Structure 1
Amino acid sequence: MDLINFSHNAITTEEELRDIIQAPHELVVKKSISIIDEHCEKFIAKSPLFLLSTCNAEGKCDVSPRGDFPSSIKILNKHQLVIPDRPGNRRLDSIQNIMSNPHIGLIFLIPGLNEVLRINGRATVIKDKQLLGNMSLNGKPPLLGIGVDVEECFIHCPRALNESKVWDTSTWINKTELPSSKDIFHDHLKINGIELKN
């Protein structure tokens, strides 16, 4: 299939966009707050999974899933939180993005709950041993953390998770319908000219 030139039918101005999609209701705009209030704090404390969105200085974006035990994120005050950076594959995509562009977005999920909490702000990669020492997992403190200065918080409506039925086990596929992550990993390495022996 030939590549499509998306620019031929692109929307390029906000005026053109609003001709198609009307402005949001005032209540939708006003639900956004600039502090971590008690509701946001409780939501974060119950969330074992969140998505971390970052972008480097060149505009290349990345979204990273982060799983940890509930209450692993430390709320410092109404404007700041710290995320422990646990050991992983050492690609450090999110960390390097933050170092070149501090703007981040977070989506917190709680299993069984269709609403999500969205937080936007500015991030800093930190190595404060005293602060990170209080965020140990299995006796090991993280080497790095992500300090977030919160600029915006709001609860996102449940439509996306309702429609996807993500928590409804009756809709879950049989794992045999997809190749294993190992097979996908090996096939992607082959595309890059690397073949591993089984």
Structure 2
Amino acid sequence: MTDLAASDLATIYPKPTPRVIAKARPELDSHATDFIAMSPFCVLATSGSDGSVDASPRGGNPGFVHVAGPNRLLMPDRSGNNRIDSFKNIVEGSGFVQLIFFVPGIDETLRVGGKGALSADPDLLASMVEFGKPPRVVLSIAVHEAYFHCGKALMRSKLWSPEIRVEREVFPSISQVIHDQTSLGEPEAQAVVEARYKTQL
């Protein structure tokens, strides 16, 4: 297999239309703000100083990412696996981040890019209590770019369609998967895993 160069891509793909180029905005407008307020889920992408890339799912109640202004987002960090790969990338790498926001039932997504910084300010943490707990840190993002992405990928995948949902039992519990991969710990049933998760939200 031969790797393609940028010049090869130019012969394969047509140029984007002026409308597609122009939709990228340097700040969050009212549509982006409303979309984020409805979004219970996003993916956070970061890059490390060594060029490695991390993509991490983030979720909460709709609007869990706070719009603090047209060029500022605040994302509280909830309990996770404590690897903190994303945060290490932010403080050790360039600090640049990318987000994709999803709203259940809407095929279009919102992409936001900017520069991230972390804060553990007590007053800020106290203002973002959710599920009865304050976050450990808050990710502040200075927004540089925002634009809506067309819904083709979600339409192709039928992501929001009940017809493609699978029963949880068709795949092993995450505890079983990790046990099979590492031989560490004892595997737990999915119901036990989910019950434990609910105490850690």
TM-score (norm 1): 0.88
Moved more, 155-164 or 138-147: 138-147
CA contact (8 A) 2:179 2:187 kept: no
- 1:158 maps to what in 2? 151
> In the TM superposition, what whole-angstrom CA distance separates every residue of 1:37-76 from its partner, at most 9, and x where no partner exists?
1111110011000000111110111111111111222211
Can you give the 5+ residue segments of structure 2 that lack an aligned partner in the other structure? Answer: 189-201
Find out whether 1:43 has 2:23 as its counterpart. no
CA drift at 1:177: 2.5
Change (3 A) 1:197 1:104: closer
Change (3 A) 1:125 1:196: same
Deviation at 1:179, TM superposition (A): 2.1
Aligned residue pairs total: 187
Corresponding residue of 1:135: 128
> Cα–Cα, structure 1 residues 63 and 197, in superposed 2: closer, same or farther, change >3 Å?
closer
Change (3 A) 1:187 1:46: same
Residue identity over aligned pairs, in percent, reads 33
- Indicate whether 1:16 and 2:8 are aligned: yes
- The 5 Å alignment of 1:102-181 reads 102-181=95-174
Paired letter, 2:10: R
Superposed displacement of residue 109, structure 1: 0.5
User: Is residue 85 from structure 1 mapped to residue 74 from structure 2 by the alignment?
Assistant: no
Say yes or no: does 1:33 pair with 2:30: no
Structure 1 ranges of 4+ moved more than 3 A: 194-198
Contact 2:176 2:187 in 1 (8 A): no
Query: Kindly tell me: are residues 180 and 30 of structure 1, through their superposed partners in 2, closer, same or farther at Cα, counting changes over 3 Å?
Result: same
1:76 is paired with a residue of what secondary structure?
strand
